[in-house]
Amino acid sequence: MATGSTKRRVRAPNQKARTAARAAARYDLDNLERHEIVALVSLTRRAYRVPARPGTLVTRVIEDERSVQSDLAQGVTIMVARTHGSRPRLLGAVRLVEDRGALFFSRLAVVPSARGRGLGAALVGAAESSARAWGLDEVRCDVALGKDLIGFYERLGYEVEHEYLGPGGLAKAQLVKRL
């Protein structure tokens, strides 16, 4: 008996870069403004929610207005992707910090309704542009193993540098890209 198979379209890296460039042009990628903090908290919750278990977040993403304000006060840069127009909506975000001579990005998030159109890749590209602007030639991020997400980053030029056990024994990898 034939079994159903899921075919996934695999895009070539240069096509992926073009898709990301189109996404970058379609949205406004810029630093978070203070009045957008509530929208950011909502975006993160929607992005990290487990679809089958609406009350559960994918990883231990504990975020509220106070924690975002605290991150900003500690020098974390939060970049967001907004729609253009008179009433912009937040569709994606990523956090950037400088760590030991490299730019480290985390909490990459795109709302479910805007996925698969290059916005995630565009936000990673914006993180890399920030690294260059900050005079850094290395970009790093952590990813949980076993979620296939490593393929997403590898197509953007990232390599696994090392694997480790994170909080709660979660298997993770640190990825790096030299610019």
CB of 1 to ligand COA, least distance (A): 28
Which of the residues 6 through 25 are near ligand COA (CB under 6 A)? Answer: 9-11, 16
Q: Cα(27)–Cα(121) distance, rounded to whole angstroms?
A: 13
CB of 15 to ligand COA, least distance (A): 9
Q: Taking contact as CB under 6 A, which single stretch among the options 32-40, 62-70, 147-155, 160-168 is the one that binds ligand COA? A: 147-155
E strand spans, the chain: 27-31, 49-50, 53-57, 77-83, 90-99, 102-110, 138-144, 159-165, 171-178
- Mark residues 36-55: x for contact with ligand COA by CB under 6 A, - for none: -----------xx-------
Q: Which is nearer to ligand COA, 37 or 119 (CB)?
A: 119
In sequence order, the 6+-apart residues with CB closer than 8 A to the CB of 29 are 79, 80, 81, 122, 123, 126
Q: Which is nearer to ligand COA, 17 or 37 (CB)?
A: 17
